Amino acid sequence: MDVLHDAKVQYLEELANHIRETLIETLLEAGSGHSAGPLGMADIFTALYFHILNHKPKQPKWKERDRLVLSNGHICPVQYVTLAYAGYFPKEELRTLRKMHSRLQGHPHRGSLPGVETTSGPLGSGLSQAIGMALAARMNREKHRVYCLMSDAEHQEGNTWEAAMFAGKERLSNLTAIIDRNNIQIDGFTEEVMPLEPLRAKYEAFNWHVVEVDGHNIRAIVDAVHEAVAIYERPTVIIAHTIPGKGVRFMENDYTWHGKPPGKEEAKAAVRDIRTLNDRIMSEHE
């Protein structure tokens, strides 16, 4: 992983907002899909694909690549857009999101699109998939790392905790989980639907190293992954506190945007908000 200089931080912050803008355009074209989660995770996906992950977009099956498992598959629009920006497939293909015969379906499908490591849809299964990859890598003495991106609400699924217990028992230090702690799900706020706290203490009880970060702070995200790499005796989970709908004022922290796309006028307003956010970032770095 390269050193993160100030100029690179600014580049990544601006790129994350370009990804947000393309996300809005993609969801508008699709006429369906999730808005809040993908917008909230744009900074993390940008940091991963443009600074953290060891990968080669032109060689998606490169044996030494890091593996990224998206457990909460419904936020795949942000992964699709980021993969396109990284060069895995043409950006023009984003216009086919959720359309018949498209490679970009509402949940990712392994084998359909380069850069997609697993099929996901049923929540709670991603951590188990990532554990299998991490355990196999250790058995084969391979050096790549496995990253598992998860929603907070899928921690209401019992199989998530079975997986967490197993990873802690096996001391899978080549595994890093990142939880999108945005506090919402389709029916409301997580702490009202089914409380998750104390989330940190639960993972610590299962022998995980836990780091909590601002999920919109690029430098904090990268530093957390650096810390995870330095932990040799157990897996690490990064609890990333994010704002659902980040960058779009009328979507932020509104759970009703969990599972719906913007309309035409809403998309225009969203793009204006995101461009204003990017202007602010540029002025802060002057």
d(CA 215, CA 219): 10
The answer to whether residue 150 scores a pLDDT higher than 90 is yes
d(CA 219, CA 216): 9
The answer to whether residue 1 scores a pLDDT higher than 80 is no
Token output for 259: 């599972």
Q: Which of 183, 205, 207, 187 is nearest to 196 (CA)?
A: 183
- Phi, psi angle pair for 148, to nearest 5°: -120, 115
Residues 17/39, Cβ–Cβ less than 8 Å: no
Q: Please report which helix (H) or strand (E) contains residue 239, including its range.
A: strand 236-241
Task: Check whether the bond before 198 is cis (ω within 30° of 0).
Answer: yes
DSSP helix, strand, coil percent of the chain (3-state; round to 5): 50, 10, 40
Q: What is the mean pLDDT of residues 89-111?
A: 96
More confident residue, 11 or 122: 11
The model's pLDDT over 229-273, given as tens digits with 9 standing for 90+, comes to 999 999 999 999 999 999 999 999 999 999 999 999 999 999 999
Residues 248/37, Cβ–Cβ less than 8 Å: no
Torsion of CA 230, 138, 116, 188, to 10 degrees: -60
Q: Write the DSSP symbol of residue 198.
A: S
Predicted confidence at residue 160, as pLDDT, reads 97
Per the DSSP assignment, residues forming a β-bridge with 238 are 178, 211
- Model confidence pTM above 0.85: yes
- Phi, psi angle pair for 283, to nearest 5°: -70, -35
Predicted confidence at residue 257, as pLDDT, reads 96
The answer to whether residue 284 scores a pLDDT higher than 80 is yes
The answer to whether residue 98 scores a pLDDT higher than 80 is yes
Q: Considering only 2-6, 87-91, 157-161, 251-255, which range has the smallest mean pLDDT?
A: 2-6
Q: Which CATH class is domain 6-284?
A: alpha beta
Predicted confidence at residue 285, as pLDDT, reads 76
Mean pLDDT of the chain: 96
- Residues of the chain with pLDDT > 70, as a percent, come to 100
Predicted confidence at residue 215, as pLDDT, reads 98
d(CA 152, CA 179): 6
Predicted confidence at residue 128, as pLDDT, reads 97
For residue 133, which amino acid is it? M
d(CA 27, CA 116): 19
In the chain, where the domains are located = 6-284
The answer to whether residue 81 scores a pLDDT higher than 80 is yes
The answer to whether residue 121 scores a pLDDT higher than 90 is no
d(CA 74, CA 33): 8
d(CA 256, CA 249): 14
Token output for 253: 């922290």
> What ranges make up the beta strands (E) of 49-181?
67-70, 146-151, 175-181
pLDDT band at 282; cut points 50, 70, 90: confident
**Residue 108, exposed/middle/buried by CB under 10 A (0-12, 13-18, 19+)?**
buried
Q: Please report which helix (H) or strand (E) contains residue 212, including its range.
A: strand 209-214
